[in-house]
Homo-oligomer: A and B are copies of this chain.
Amino acid sequence: MDRKSKKRNIPFPFISISDRAASNIPIYRQIYESVRRAILSGAMQGGSRIPSSRSLSAELGVSRMTVINAYDQLFAEGYLEGKIGSGTFVAGELPEELLTTPKVREIKTVARPRELNLSRLGEQLERDGQQLLREPLSTRFQPFQNGLTAVDSFPFDTWGRIAARLSRSGPHAVIRGNDLAGFRPLREAIAAHLRSARAVRCEPEQVIVTAGAQQGLALVSAVLLEPRDNVWIEDPGYNSARDLFSLSGAQLVPVPVDGDGIDLEAAAHSGKKPKLIYVTPSHQYPLGMTMSLGRRLSLIETARAARAWVVEDDYDSEFRYSGRPIASLQGLDIEGRVIYVGTFSKTIFPSLKLGCLVVPPDLVDVFTAARTVTGAQSPMIDQAVLAEFISEGHFARHIRRMRTLYQERQKFLVEQVHRHLAGFLEMTPGDAGMHLVGWLPEGFNDREVAMRADELDIRLSAISDHSIMSYPRMGLIFGYAAFNEKQTRRGVAKIAVLLTELSKSKCFKP
């Protein structure tokens, strides 16, 4: 544009060198940057001679070697031509229009929205991103954030000792087991654990290591779902699974749950033949019931008849407080229709980012290929540490300890709610898991309560946010596993104040 006005006769006015103390960038690099930008912006034109390294070094008060270093680099990158020492010029053969227009501006100034030309998925993410970009779980340790574990009780010393030992022994011992489906000894440890603790029927070959349940579900979605495929999904249900399946373009079929789990008759009435059925049989999320045996068998039969896949999300089944854990749905599956999704986020800690899929034998290769091509590998070191942690018995021991702790914490939460929130919240003790639902009386809106609680640093999740169809009752999800008595007591007290206040403003009579 107005190129002339940018050109100056004073040599190198555009070279700015910061105070050495004030900058980490070496002087030669600063000179290099200044010249490069001057060329790209058109301030220095192709063919024009640049000062000798001697004169520039004198002018800038830096060593000549520093200037030579800068010129050297500019030369290597094609900005300068000629022989250093005998005369150096701005390269002339560069496309002139690119050099002079547009002016260099900082990329951050690309402020006005432009058409981004994304994929359809990209556009959907762009549009719905704000909703999807929920705050990361583990940044706020506030009651009653669900999905958090009692990290204070995790044996980090043991974990760190195993990690240090494996790091010291170097990589050779570890990388030998690097299968495309995951670290081989970890797959073996997971298979052994799932067989004995969850009655999952599997060989280590069927275990695909993932970076947690969400990545497992993403692989399922990629490998199985086409746009417009019907996905039966529990309603209320797990919203992250819902979001993911929905992004694949699949048609979500919300299916109500009754006391036995997903209501297959209601689903059949929808007339929409399923391609995939997503369930949480051990402990329905978020309502908490266990799927009955009869329902499990019907579900497998339904899947068989429809040639559909069943995704069993077994997210918190290790924490069962009465009786032993209920065997997995996968263990009943004689048809090879169930894909088991496991996670260590609930049993170790969420930021470990490790989980697994157990897939039928004839899906192993396709899932392994999907994992490989999408770069869904997990760091070998963490897989190795977890494998040792499991096989040395620390894992089982930690689960046992947490089972006792979480049961106590649930009991304390229920007591506190009954004592301080009677009339406001109805909460029944649960057999399992790390959360309970507190049901609100008529007149309250769960989303509003959750929003208001958030302002008080209380994290509650609304049943409405986990529902596709409107659910007949308003309720709030209380995660209790991560919080000690003091935190729970104070959390409940804050909620009591909030609900009292809200009830007044609503003329609500408890």
Contact = CB atoms under 8 A, between A and B. Distances in A.
A373 B247 contact: yes
Contacts of A213: 375
Given A217-B375, A369-B132, A104 B334 contact: yes
Interface string A335-358: 110000000000001011110000
Contacts of A59: none
Nearest to A106: B201
A129 B170 contact: no
Contacts of A275: 117
Nearest to A331: B36
Interface in A369-387: 369-370, 372-382
A243 interface: yes
Contacts of A9: none
Contacts of A292: 78
Nearest to A380: B351
A226 to B, nearest CB: 5
A115 B275 CA distance: 13
Interface string A286-314: 00000011100110110000011100000
Contacts of A422: none
Contacts of A116: 362-363, 366
A211 B383 CA distance: 14
A322 to B, nearest CB: 8
Q: Which of A91, A115, A370 has the most CB of B within 10 A?
A: A370
Contacts of A217: 375
A118 B225 CA distance: 7
B361 A107 contact: yes
Contacts of A307: 115, 117
A33 B199 contact: yes
A332 interface: yes
A130 to B, nearest CB: 8
Contacts of A122: 222-224, 366, 370
Interface stretch (A69-77, A403-411, A446-454, A499-507): A69-77
A110 to B, nearest CB: 5
Contacts of A143: none
Contacts of A98: 297-298, 300-301
Nearest to A343: B375
Interface stretch (A14-22, A60-68, A161-169, A457-465): A161-169
A212 interface: yes
Nearest to A113: B362
Interface string A455-486: 00000000000000000000000000000000
Q: Which 3 A-B pairs have the closest CB atoms?
A: A214-B375, A160-B167, A215-B375
13 contacts: A36-B327, A76-B326, A78-B294, A104-B334, A110-B336, A116-B366, A117-B307, A118-B366, A119-B222, A121-B370, A136-B179, A156-B168, A211-B376
Given A77-B293, A175-B351, A214-B373, 16 more contacts: A72-B324, A78-B292, A106-B201, A107-B361, A108-B361, A117-B224, A118-B223, A126-B369, A133-B180, A163-B163, A211-B379, A244-B374, A351-B379, A352-B381, A353-B380, A381-B382
Interface of A: 24-25, 29, 33, 36, 40, 72-73, 76-79, 91, 93-95, 98-99, 102, 104-108, 110, 113-122, 125-126, 128-129, 132-133, 136-139, 141, 151-152, 154, 156-157, 159-161, 163-164, 167-168, 170-172, 174-180, 192, 196, 199, 201-203, 210-218, 222-226, 229, 240, 243-244, 247, 275, 292-294, 297-298, 300-301, 307-309, 323-324, 326-327, 332-336, 349, 351-354, 360-363, 365-366, 368-370, 372-382
